[in-house]
Amino acid sequence: MESVSRRTALKLMGLGAALLAAGSRGFAQQAPTADQLVKGKNPKLLVLSQRPIVLETPYDLLVSQPERTPKEILYIRNNVDLPGYNTVEGASLDGWKVEVGGLVDKPFTFEAKELLELPQHEVTMVLQCSGNGRSLFQPRTSGNPWKRGGVGNVTFRGVRLKDLLEAKGVKLGEKALYITAHASRQGNAPEFVRSVPIHALGHALLALSMNGEPLPAVHGGPIRLVFPGYFGVNNVKWVQKIEFTEAENTTAEQMPRYRVPAIPNANIPFLPQEPGKTYPYSFTNSRPNWLVAINSFIFAPLEGQTVEGPYVRVEGVAFNDGIVPLVSVEVSANGGRTWQQARLERQEKSFGWVRWQATLYLRPGEHEVMARAWDAVGRSQPLDGNIAWNERGYEYNGVMRVKFTVA
């Protein structure tokens, strides 16, 4: 074999580098934006996954709509994608059927259009991925690297599941302890099943619309089974089967995914783990991501901003699972040594977030403000969110900190 001269070798290396650089540029140019993946979405949404589609709302977009999150900027966390449903436009009710069975005295199937003839109810609620805030855990956990944009405040409208059961004259069996919902598998979509406790029936809604418009196809239209106060994963999109069961389902989305370590029947929300370690999940040593954890976000000032002083308005939103009211939000500008009460927009049970604001006297210079919420049963947020570290990065609700400059 003939040897390659040094000059030839250098030329080949240069050519290879050029091809690699061109390939990298081509790949970057080909990466689709959010609006290319989902028709009608804001192109500024962050693409965390192309398949299944996962889009995060940039924080500046989230805070720009503090009352209600529009469909164009609402995050997406799909576990499955239905062909033809990647749009914010509504999906047709025509031909959509849902089967209801399990531990009921009279199983039945209904057509989606039947729901239009029943009383309609609205609920404004926080819709949040249980992995929201995952990237704040250290060391890094598995899963999509959510910051704080996997959340929104939306209004669903539809028919209460309990009203549908009553209209059909259906009664539940004594051992019906869980509601188990199945998503459609049309287009050979993978199986997706979630179970929630029967307690959720009280507010369960067969949602047909969101924010006053037909329920966007990508957000579960034509029908999404919504459980206010529960993390987003439990609000099953494209619902096609509802069962009342004695136990949680055993699919991968119920076990081992979407769970945190826990001590059964103990008055502690999670079992602290050594960061970086794995955990042998089972139904007896963990709990599902069901109820939304109490949390608060600072909407202003934003990280890195410069604001006029010395009186600085700090504002944001707070929320919990809606079972009891929020009673206070506190802010601190000295690392948590002292706290000042913020003014809550309202103090009542709410599935949606509640706005709050406080005015601080701050001298010119750099500052860090913290915020934490409290509810009527004494639940609050840990100063160190990493205390809840778990290998899949679920349910982060540590106190939020924002650094900014006062002019």
Identify the pLDDT of residue 27.
44
Residue 405: how many CB atoms within 10 A of its CB? Answer: 15
Give tens-digit pLDDT for 294-349: 999 999 999 999 999 999 999 999 999 999 999 999 999 999 999 999 999 999 99
Contact 232, 79 (CB under 8 A): no
- Same domain for 100 and 156? yes
- Same domain for 75 and 163? yes
Domain boundary among 193, 228, 254: 254
User: How many whole angstroms separate alpha carbon 195 and alpha carbon 236?
Assistant: 10
* CATH code assigned at 362: 2.60.40.650
Identify the pLDDT of residue 345.
96
- Same domain for 228 and 304? no
pTM of the model: 0.92
User: How many whole angstroms separate alpha carbon 394 and alpha carbon 388?
Assistant: 9
Domain boundary among 222, 254, 286: 254
Give tens-digit pLDDT for 34-60: 999 999 999 999 999 999 999 999 999
Per-residue confidence at 5, pLDDT binned at 50, 70, 90? low
Average pLDDT taken over every residue of the chain:
94
Q: Give strand ranges (E) for 169-257.
A: 178-183, 193-197, 205-210, 213-214, 224-226, 239-245
The residue whose two tokens read 């929300």 is: 269
Contact 353, 319 (CB under 8 A): yes
Identify the pLDDT of residue 19.
42
The residue whose two tokens read 């199937």 is: 109
- Same domain for 191 and 55? yes
The residue whose two tokens read 């990065």 is: 393
% pLDDT > 70, the chain: 93
DSSP β-bridge partners for residue 180: 195, 243
Give tens-digit pLDDT for 332-347: 999 999 999 999 999 9
Identify the pLDDT of residue 371.
98
- Same domain for 332 and 241? no
Identify the pLDDT of residue 222.
98
Q: Which of 220, 188, 194 has the alpha carbon at shortest distance from 83?
A: 188
Query: Cα 131 vs. chain centroid, distance in angstroms?
Result: 7
Give tens-digit pLDDT for 267-304: 899 999 999 999 999 999 999 999 999 999 999 999 99
Both tokens of residue 18? 């050029």
Query: Cα 29 vs. chain centroid, distance in angstroms?
Result: 29
Residue 24 is assigned to a structural domain of this protein = no
- The domain tally of the chain equals 2
- Same domain for 229 and 302? no
Residues in the chain, overall count: 407
Is the pLDDT at 16 greater than 50? The verdict is no
- Same domain for 85 and 218? yes
Determine the average pLDDT of the residues in 134-151.
97
Give tens-digit pLDDT for 379-402: 999 999 999 999 999 999 999 999
Determine the average pLDDT of the residues in 359-368.
98
Residue 268 is assigned to a structural domain of this protein = no
Residue 323: how many CB atoms within 10 A of its CB? Answer: 15
Identify the pLDDT of residue 30.
82
* CATH code assigned at 42: 3.90.420.10
Contact 141, 391 (CB under 8 A): yes
Residue 9 is assigned to a structural domain of this protein = no
Residue 339 is assigned to a structural domain of this protein = yes
Identify the pLDDT of residue 365.
98
Determine the structural domain holding residue 371 and report its residue range.
295-406
Output DSSP code: residue 104. Answer: B
- Same domain for 97 and 233? yes
Determine the average pLDDT of the residues in 107-130.
98
Determine the average pLDDT of the residues in 131-153.
98
DSSP β-bridge partners for residue 102: 244
Higher pLDDT, 10 or 103: 103
User: How many whole angstroms separate alpha carbon 168 and alpha carbon 163?
Assistant: 9
Is the pLDDT at 18 greater than 50? The verdict is no
- Fill in the amino acid letter for 405: T
- Same domain for 75 and 196? yes
